[in-house]
Structure 1
Amino acid sequence: MFKMHIVDWSNRQAYQDQLERYFRVRHEIYVSGRQWRQIERPIPLEIDAFDTNDAIYLLGIEDDGTIAGGSRLVPTLKPHLLSEVFPMLVDGEPPRGADIYEWTRFFISPSLRRSGSPSRAAGVVLCGLQEASLSLGIGQLSVVCEAFWPARLEQLGWSVTRLGQVLNHPDGRILALLIQVSEEALASTRLAYGLDDASVIA
């Protein structure tokens, strides 16, 4: 099974090829697959306003360099999706803090998805998210997501707070959450996906 790699500004040069593949997979999933036309560009790379020098990428990389899955973390003290695009999803002000990051662009490569059953690849990416957040000193994650996600995360043992009401959006029913990062959530996610206690971070 693949490992998750933490990529930030300090080591981005070493991951240039993998990052380009990652942006191509994002285009395949979000533009070609989900038809998110507002982020379509002339080239088949899905890059938005929050892919900045401050972004942290969690890349699931197979031994042959294939991108198996990914996520992005953006510091909430900087402009991010919830603060700039979807503040209406929050009752009050979007949460901000040095230890609060926004989680976006979670995906599993289409070839690794399993219809009707949990994908072990999804477990690796979700465990990687919790594990990387713990190692980076991130205590909470905000996220804009589809309305089915809170129940799914709670089933995994994650502590989730709904920040506002569900919004009917052209891309589906969405809402904002605040997620607690914890060793307990990491352990319960490993158990749910049948993963051992070994680190999923490279």
Structure 2
Amino acid sequence: MITLFSTPEVLEVAGGGARFVAGLTPIAVTAALCGPAATCACAPGDNLAIHRLLEQAPAGSVLVVDAGGRTDCGHFGELAGMDAENREIQGLVIAGAVRDGGALAVLGFPVFHGGFAPVSCVKERVGSVNEPVTIAGVEIAPGDQVIADSDAILVVAAADWPAVAVDAQAIRDSENALRTKLLQGERLSEFLDLPE
């Protein structure tokens, strides 16, 4: 079972071990994902690499796509989103434009993107699949953990993730206990070590 940790939970325990990917936007404010990266890099104006990645990415993974930041064509759209959902992919992080934005939002497939473009890409050159990619100056290797929501996009090295996940779960358990108390009408200030 996949636990959908939030970026605040992860950042609190990972600290400098969590790298920020800046400059991308969630398709909806509720979009959120958490899973190991399955990576590809697109040739300019070409999305064949994404289709190859969709064929290979394991269930539970997050598609991480370096499309060179291009916004002149939509590299991923509604039909690809439906295919990804059928394959139990957790979502998409793409340095480049997507299309069918409204349909993707309604579909509920989490997408973090660099813009919208209605023009389709060609499908001629593969680029690279399952090799490290760099997005917004952050190198992301296959298997690195990607956590994204409306607050941020974070990457944690695969080797560090098991320990981070244990600590993030402890944060979640503690905050869930606090939520229960707040629902019962107790005051937040009673549980915080606030200065006098």
Same fold by TM-score, threshold 0.5 exceeded?
Answer: no
Smaller-chain TM-score range?
under 0.3
The TM-score normalised by the length of structure 2 is 0.23
Q: Which has the higher contact order (CA 8 A, sep 6+)?
A: 2
Report the structure number with the largest CA radius of gyration: 2
The TM-score normalised by the length of structure 1 is 0.22
